[in-house]
Amino acid sequence: MPTIRAYRPADREALYDVCVRTGHNGGDATDLYRDPRILPDIFTGPYLALRPDLAFVLADEQDRAVGYILGAADTAAFVAEFRRDWLPTVAARYPEGSGTGRDAERIRDLHHPEWMWHEELAEYPAHLHIDLLPEAQGKGAGRALMGTYLAALRALGVPRVHLGMSAANTGAKAFYDRLGFHELHRTPDGRGLFLGRGTD
Ligand SMILES: CC(C)(COP(=O)(O)OP(=O)(O)OC[C@H]1O[C@@H](n2cnc3c(N)ncnc32)[C@H](O)[C@@H]1OP(=O)(O)O)[C@@H](O)C(=O)NCCC(=O)NCCS
């Protein structure tokens, strides 16, 4: 049975791999980017570096990380730290303004982390990312990880949480609906959705 435990620095590469292998609407993004590490360098690495206390790992019988939930209790503060402390550590690998298509979009996201925060989200200060490898999906681990993460936020006194997702990821949307999330905000192009719920 997989177990949930706190993140350890030795998990880092495995978690980067989980992010890439689930990074295209829930499916494998390995071949979609010139350098697929751009995804975990936006969506995984900064949390492990800046908020390791809010990173939880799903570990298999060999203690290999096959999934995670992570995030930040105060998104506005996280965005500022992302820009100040995280971006300088990876910026040279993805020069600002470089790339085309998807690569260019993600490189823009990396260099402008302010996209993570909208006024509509003010009542939902925390946020999260959750990803499981295919073999770990559909067995209740996502629900269990969410329970662990919500309890950690409650312990910090955080009342509500949000997440951003691709509207095309219908499986994840069904999961979040089932777990009581509701829509807060939609990007003007309709491709991005922000959902939220209380931590109770
Ligand atoms: C989305 C994800 C985190 C869900 O975790 P999971 O372990 O597969 O989900 P669970 O087995 O815990 O399911 C919890 C509930 O959601 C429902 N659910 C989960 N995935 C679903 C799907 N694809 N379609 C319909 N319902 C779904 C389950 O039926 C279950 O309902 P119940 O507990 O009331 O019976 C996981 O599948 C995943 O990592 N997918 C790939 C990466 C991804 O898309 N991440 C989210 C990016 S925004």
Helix (H, G, I), strand (E, B) or coil at 132: strand
Q: Which ligand 1 atom minimizes the distance to the CA of 169?
A: 44
Q: Which DSSP symbol is given to 11? A: G
**118 pLDDT higher than 90:** no
- Cβ partners under 8 Å of residue 151, min gap 6: none
What Å distances lie between residue 43 and 40, 140, 154, CA to CA?
A: 5, 23, 23
Residue 175 Cα to ligand 1 middle (Å): 4
Cβ–ligand 1 contact at 175 (below 6 Å): yes
Residue 141 Cα to ligand 1 middle (Å): 8
Neighbours of 143 (CB within 10 A): 11
pLDDT tier at 21, thresholds 50, 70, 90: very high
User: At CA 13, angle to CA 171 and CA 149, rounded to 5?
Assistant: 50
- Quote the CATH superfamily of domain 3-159: Gcn5-related N-acetyltransferase (GNAT) (3.40.630.30)
Q: What is the pLDDT of residues 139-176, one digit of tens each?
A: 999 999 999 999 999 999 999 999 999 999 999 999 99
Q: Which ligand 1 atom minimizes the distance to the CA of 22?
A: 42
Return the residue whose CA atom lies nearest to atom 41 of ligand 1: 26
Return the residue whose CA atom lies nearest to atom 45 of ligand 1: 131
Return the residue whose CA atom lies nearest to atom 37 of ligand 1: 137
Residue 26 Cα to ligand 1 middle (Å): 10
Q: Which DSSP symbol is given to 66? A: E
pLDDT at 126: 98
Q: What is the pLDDT of residues 95-104, one digit of tens each?
A: 999 999 999 9
**25 pLDDT higher than 90:** yes
Return the residue whose CA atom lies nearest to atom 13 of ligand 1: 140
Residue 197 Cα to ligand 1 middle (Å): 16
> Of 42, 10, 47, nearest to 23 (Cα)?
42
Q: Which of 39, 146, 175 to probe ligand 1 with, by most ligand atoms within 8 A of CB?
A: 175
Q: Mean pLDDT for the chain?
A: 97
pLDDT at 123: 98
pLDDT at 40: 99
Return the residue whose CA atom lies nearest to atom 44 of ligand 1: 26
pLDDT at 138: 98
Position 1: which residue type?
A: M
Sign of the dihedral through C-alpha 130, 52, 63, 23? positive
pTM as predicted: 0.98
Residue 25 Cα to ligand 1 middle (Å): 13
Distance of CA 44 to the CA centre of its chain: 6
